[in-house]
């Protein structure tokens, strides 16, 4: 697996993954293109070498402003979960954000998304507060979590 920056030709794969993952933020197709063009924003792609062409299996979208960053969306194809892909995307994102000067990374997650919460906790995220009724379909609170971005360890 390799993690690489988003390219516009990835848009349909990213959108398809999002649609396979109802627990992910559900954006419009153009939202990804707009985010990718914004200063301080980035989308990372997890790609498997597959014959005859690589297969995109996950993505992470984040935005960085001054010393703060937000993980806006992350998703992995259900057929490729529990293989360390989300963990690798998150680690790569954190390292990239640290290198660009971010000190704190924030995210929002549904309380019912136990897998994502476990992933974030394993990365060191801490619960900051709850936003009541933040999510729709179904209505659910959002847990706002943060991570003081550590200096990356040598690979």
| Residue 3 Cα distances to 47, 73, 80, 112, 133, angstroms | 6, 16, 15, 28, 34
Three-class SS state of 69: strand
The residue from 32, 47, 70, 120 that is catalytic is 120
Nearest to 23 by CA among 73, 67, 93, 63: 73
In whole angstroms, give the CA distance from residue 21 to residue 26: 9
The number of angstroms, rounded, from the C-alpha of 142 to the middle of its chain's C-alpha atoms is 16
Is 70 a known active-site residue? Answer: no
Judging by beta carbons within 10 Å of its beta carbon (0-12, 13-18, 19+), is residue 137 exposed, middle or buried? Answer: exposed
The residue from 23, 68, 108, 140 that is catalytic is 108
In whole angstroms, give the CA distance from residue 83 to residue 87: 9
For the chain, the residue count is 155
Is 129 a known active-site residue? Answer: no
- Catalytic positions: 108, 120
């Amino acid at each position: 697996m390799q993690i690489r920056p988003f390219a516009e030709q990835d848009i349909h794969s990213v959108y398809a993954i999002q649609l396979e993952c109802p627990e992910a933020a559900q954006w419009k197709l153009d939202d990804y293109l707009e985010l990718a063009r914004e200063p301080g924003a980035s989308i990372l792609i997890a790609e498997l070498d597959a014959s005859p062409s690589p297969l995109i299996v996950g993505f992470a979208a984040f935005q960085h402003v001054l010393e703060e960053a937000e993980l806006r969306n992350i998703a992995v194809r259900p057929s490729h979960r529990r293989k360390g892909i989300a963990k690798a995307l998150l680690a790569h994102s954190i390292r990239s954000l640290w290198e660009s000067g971010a000190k704190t990374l924030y995210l929002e997650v549904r309380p019912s998304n136990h897998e994502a919460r476990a992933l974030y906790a394993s990365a060191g995220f801490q619960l900051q507060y709850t936003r009541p009724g933040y999510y729709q379909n179904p209505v659910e609170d959002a847990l706002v979590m943060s991570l003081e971005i550590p200096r990356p360890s040598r690979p």
